[in-house]
A = this chain, B = another copy of it.
Amino acid sequence: MSGIESIDARTGEAQPVDAVESTPETVRATCEVAAVAAPDLARRDLRWRSGLLEAMAGALEEDGDAIVGAADRETALGLPRLQGELRRTAYQLRLFARVVEEGSFLLATIDHAAETPMGPLPDIRRMVVPIGPVGVFGASNFPLAFSVPGGDTASAVAAGCPVVIKAHPAHPATSEATFAALARAASSLDAPSGTIALVHGFAAGIALVEDPAITAVGFTGSLAAGRALFDRASARRDPIPFYGELGAANALVVTRSAAAARGEEIGAGAAQSLTLGVGQFCTQPGLLFVPEGPQGDGVVAALVAATAAVPGAHMLTGAIADAYRAGVQSAAEVDGVRALLASEPAVGTEVTASLFETSAARFASAGAGVLRHECFGPVSIVVRYASGADLDAALDALDPALTFTIHAEPDDPNTPGLVDRASRAAGRVVMNGYPTGVGVNWAMHHGGPWPATTRPLHTSVGAASIARWLRPVAYQNVPDDLLPAALREGNPLGIPRRVDGTVVVGSHTGRA
């Protein structure tokens, strides 16, 4: 067993963490305890489950100063951002508590026995049940909101599943501190042993995806790492769902109407969005489509000025900063690309932002593939287009992404076509705003077709993310007293259901 070190993201200083890399045997034993916990957790009622989510939120807040301090040292993201991220993380747990109590997420559906054109049908009732033990991979760039206590963990707990979390190696001390808060909350409510667990290390991650007790996996990270784990999940004797959010090269289109009306404002806004969190957002707008001509030049001038004014900052790890510098170098070497803002040479984790410019035709060409893929960090490619056809050709060359942003003035005739394209090419369409910042609510979708994610039907943020960890079961002619409460005739939980084809909101069905 090798010890684990916590690295200061600003100084590189190492400190020991009171944890060790998990052996394959440890992972196996941990998953087995989760498997034993699963049916117990599944039987706990919804109110208990929402109480657990509330208790987890409260415990994180109690330990907030220590958690944020550890996270700031390990990520260099700064106290204000991390305090906000802690608020978001607690809010997410509390929203999920309300979603659980509301009960729609159970998809309770009742069809009474009936005569139909296909003959008599029996009484059939369907709801969703917890899928079983879930593996979660913490992400590097949100040490709270997408890591140990983040959306994957919160949604799996909301679904009634035990969770085995693989800590991200860039913030082991934060992982331990947040896990301790979650575990204390679970213990305070007598949750079964194995409700949540934490493992460390690269080998532990592979063992987790391949463990026979694990029934689904949540992951946020790079395309390369996500693909490797997806392949392992798919190659199992019993393949399991692997929900990977793999990042994206997110397009932001400035139409001529918007460039004319508020070019400076858009340039400055884009600069803020692309450098937010040192560019370490999955939704970072890495591709900015700007018209040629003086009005587009105004957007670019404001963009460059505002980006240049952003001071250098520390990225999450030395490896991430090195990859950023290498990506910037690769973009600079593409024919027909010129630097608008060259990042200053630096070592360690400190970097400055970069901007490049190229033509739409060049961007869409065979040799420019490197420009069309995400470079994680504060860099964007400005793609200048001369005409709508020019823009379309450049956009046709894009892979699907998490977001697609459009800036356009009212009545711009190009907007309907862009909205239609955006809805086919991305998981979220943003009008006259910026894609960074993913709200947690009922309507949010944070996903998209491959390579944005491994599963285009699902989201990793918002109330709908809970559905990833639930599978349907139908009950045929099961007597009322043997049915789960959600499906009993009298609707004792008072939840919204569909009865004989009609949505019935939280009341009795009118039958005995």
Interface residues of A (CB under 8 A from B): 39, 43, 84, 87-88, 90-92, 94, 98, 102, 104, 107, 109-111, 114, 116-119, 121-122, 124-126, 129, 131, 215, 230-231, 234-235, 238-241, 410, 415-416, 419-420, 423-424, 426-433, 439-447, 449-451, 454-457, 459, 464, 467-468, 470-479, 482, 484, 496, 498, 500-501, 503, 505
Cα separation A215 to B456 with both chains bound (whole Å): 10
A473 with B445: CB separation less than 8 A: yes
Cα separation A231 to B235 with both chains bound (whole Å): 8
Cα separation A456 to B126 with both chains bound (whole Å): 14
**Subset of 24 A-B contacts with CB under 8 Å:** A43-B420, A104-B498, A111-B442, A111-B443, A121-B441, A126-B464, A215-B456, A230-B239, A234-B235, A239-B454, A241-B455, A416-B482, A428-B474, A430-B476, A431-B476, A433-B476, A433-B477, A441-B501, A442-B498, A446-B474, A449-B471, A457-B470, A503-B503, A503-B505
Cα separation A116 to B467 with both chains bound (whole Å): 23
Most buried by B among A240, A451, A503: A503
List residues of chain B with CB within 8 A of the CB of A479: 410, 431
Rounded to whole Å, the gap between the CB of A212 and the closest CB of chain B is: 11
Cα separation A439 to B109 with both chains bound (whole Å): 14
Partner among B410, B419, B451, B472 whose Cβ is within 8 Å of the Cβ of A459: B472
Rounded to whole Å, the gap between the CB of A106 and the closest CB of chain B is: 13
A91 with B109: CB separation less than 8 A: no
B84 with A118: CB separation less than 8 A: yes
Cα separation A107 to B477 with both chains bound (whole Å): 28
A88 with B498: CB separation less than 8 A: no
B498 with A503: CB separation less than 8 A: no
List residues of chain B with CB within 8 A of the CB of A470: 457
Number of copies: 2
B129 with A423: CB separation less than 8 A: yes
A482 with B445: CB separation less than 8 A: no
Cα separation A464 to B430 with both chains bound (whole Å): 29
| Beta-carbon nearest neighbor of A90 in chain B | B117
Cα separation A70 to B329 with both chains bound (whole Å): 65
Rounded to whole Å, the gap between the CB of A251 and the closest CB of chain B is: 14
| Beta-carbon nearest neighbor of A470 in chain B | B457
Interface of A (DSSP majority class): mixed
| Beta-carbon nearest neighbor of A456 in chain B | B471
A439 with B118: CB separation less than 8 A: yes
Most buried by B among A84, A426, A430, A443: A443
A473 with B84: CB separation less than 8 A: no
| Beta-carbon nearest neighbor of A239 in chain B | B450
List residues of chain B with CB within 8 A of the CB of A131: 456-457
| Beta-carbon nearest neighbor of A476 in chain B | B430
Rounded to whole Å, the gap between the CB of A412 and the closest CB of chain B is: 10
List residues of chain B with CB within 8 A of the CB of A432: 477
List residues of chain B with CB within 8 A of the CB of A464: 107, 109, 126, 472
List residues of chain B with CB within 8 A of the CB of A111: 439, 441-444
List residues of chain B with CB within 8 A of the CB of A119: 84
Partner among B125, B238, B426, B496 whose Cβ is within 8 Å of the Cβ of A450: B238
B501 with A442: CB separation less than 8 A: yes
Known: A116-B439, A239-B454, A423-B473; 5 extra A-B contacts, CB below 8 A, are A234-B234, A240-B450, A427-B474, A428-B473, A428-B476
Cα separation A486 to B424 with both chains bound (whole Å): 16
| Beta-carbon nearest neighbor of A457 in chain B | B471
Cα separation A442 to B446 with both chains bound (whole Å): 28
